[in-house]
Amino acid sequence: MTEVSIVKCNNYEHKNVRNAIKESLDLLGGIEKFVKPDDKVLLKVNAIIGFQPERAATTHPAIILVMAGLVKEAGGIPIVGDSSGAFGFTGQSLEMCGIAKAAKEAGAELVNFESTGTYSVNIDGKILKNINIAKPVMDCDVLISLPKMKTHQLTKYTGAVKNFYGVIPGTGKAKIHQFAPSELSFSHAVVDIYSALKPKLAVMDGIVGMEGEGATNGTPISSNVVMSSADCVSLDAVASEVMGFFHKDILTTLFAHERNLGVGEINDIRILGEQIKDVKMEFKKSKYIAYKFPEFVRKSIFRFSENFSRVNISEKECKKCSICARSCPASAISFSPKPFIDQDKCIKCYCCHELCPNSAVKLRTSFIGGLILKSMNYKS
């Protein structure tokens, strides 16, 4: 039986974070169970596009500082790394969200996956057969996921498993969205990537999570927990339940469980520390419905009514940084003479909405779409 530990933590003060993380790891056997002297330990953080920590979109610097310190205490060599969702912005992202500063303060090496080179890895995936994974991810002795507890517009929830989407640097992530645009296909692709990795531990930043339109444009919510597990799939099953989801509704968890990549059945997971019922919340879910239908239905609906679920750019708020255009898998965005999204090309992957640093990309569900949501008894 796999184990997931839950420990309460009310703020990001260093002492409180250290105590909470250490307690969560001690419940699992201690950091020494996972890290041996001289191990190269890669802490895979979530930097996305470099929002300030208060936005609750990225792994908080306090988590990195503590984890790197604990790795060093165990005799390991901490390395902190990620690649941004927007090609070419990883260095800037790591700086803006405070992760670079935390790594330096902790004496950890900081790696930008866009500049480390990749290994071409063949996998027997449902969607992906070959992927390019950043070299530090494959070269480290211990791989640890440090996800943020958040909702997600495409996959409903994002956590320890999906955090590894960032091991694909460059334009690779956008290409995957292009041929896996639905919740179903994209979730399979995420699990395909996860199947190529062998993480030994996950520690989730759930002190302040994000609800609503995650993974970047939602609302911070005080969730007051740190969770740890040697099984990323089990951690996601538990974390999603804490957030108010039914764990089997999270397809990345379901598919990983079905492929024997981890344990995603709550009844087969031993909960240590706080119990789910004692910390359970009701995170607001994304209200945008494109991902809720099979791909063939999606295409038919959106062609029938382009306003059913629409992505637009606010000309007033747009700074023309072009991050959205460069990251759009469908090449649907242009800026001549003004910001424009070609609705015929748009695949509703929401990459533009997730990566816009100025919140200029707006998602709208029509009145008809709202009625359908209501008929589905879907609560946002």
Instruction: Please spell the DSSP secondary structure of 195-241, one letter per residue.
Output: HT----EEEEEEEEEEESSTTTSSEEEEEEEEEEES-HHHHHHHHHH
d(Cα 309, Cα 60) in Å, to the nearest integer? 32
Average predicted confidence (pLDDT) for the chain: 90
Buried b (16+ CB within 10 A) or exposed e, 175-202: ebbeebbbbbbbbbbbbbbbbbbebbbb
Q: What letter does residue 116 receive in the DSSP assignment?
A: S
Residue corresponding to tokens 């747009």: 318
Q: What pLDDT is attached to residue 309? A: 63
With a CB cutoff of 8 Å and minimum separation 6, the contacts of 176 are 127, 128, 168, 186, 189, 329
Is the confidence at residue 221, as pLDDT, over 80? yes
Average of per-residue pLDDT across 317-331: 86
The SS3 of residue 264 is: coil
Q: What pLDDT is attached to residue 323? A: 85
One-letter amino acid at 138 equals M
Tokens standing for 116? 């480390």
Residue 203: pLDDT band with limits 50, 70, 90: very high
Is the confidence at residue 305, as pLDDT, over 50? no
Q: Are the CB atoms for 116 and 82 separated by under 8 Å? A: no
Q: What pLDDT is attached to residue 117? A: 97
Q: What letter does residue 115 receive in the DSSP assignment?
A: G
Q: Are the CB atoms for 267 and 1 separated by under 8 Å? A: no
Q: What pLDDT is attached to residue 107? A: 98
Residues in the chain: 380
Is the confidence at residue 61, as pLDDT, over 80? yes
Longest dimension (CA), the chain: 61
Residue that wins the pLDDT comparison between 25 and 314: 25
Average of per-residue pLDDT across 165-176: 92
Q: What pLDDT is attached to residue 347? A: 79
Q: What pLDDT is attached to residue 303? A: 47
Residue that wins the pLDDT comparison between 282 and 327: 282
Q: Do 2-279 and 290-375 come out as alike in CATH topology? A: no
Is the confidence at residue 365, as pLDDT, over 70? no
35-44, 166-175, 212-221, 286-295: range with lowest mean pLDDT: 286-295
Tens digits of residue pLDDT in 119-133? 999 999 999 999 999
Q: What pLDDT is attached to residue 304? A: 45
Query: Where in the chain are the domains?
Result: 2-279, 290-375
Average of per-residue pLDDT across 98-122: 98
Tens digits of residue pLDDT in 306-323? 455 678 888 889 988 888
Q: What pLDDT is attached to residue 371? A: 58
Residue corresponding to tokens 């019922």: 277
Buried b (16+ CB within 10 A) or exposed e, 321-333: bebbbbbbbbebb
Count the Cβ atoms, other than its own, within 10 Å of residue 161: 31
Q: What pLDDT is attached to residue 379? A: 46
Domain boundaries 290-375, corresponding CATH code = 3.30.70.20
Is the confidence at residue 292, as pLDDT, over 80? no
With a CB cutoff of 8 Å and minimum separation 6, the contacts of 129 are 122, 123
Give me the DSSP letters along 179-198.
H--SHHHHHHHHHHHHHT--
Q: What pLDDT is attached to residue 294? A: 55
- Domain made up of 2-279: CATH architecture: 3-Layer(aba) Sandwich (3.40)
Q: Taking Cα atoms as reference points, which of 72, 99, 356 lies closest to residue 213?
A: 356
Average of per-residue pLDDT across 279-290: 84
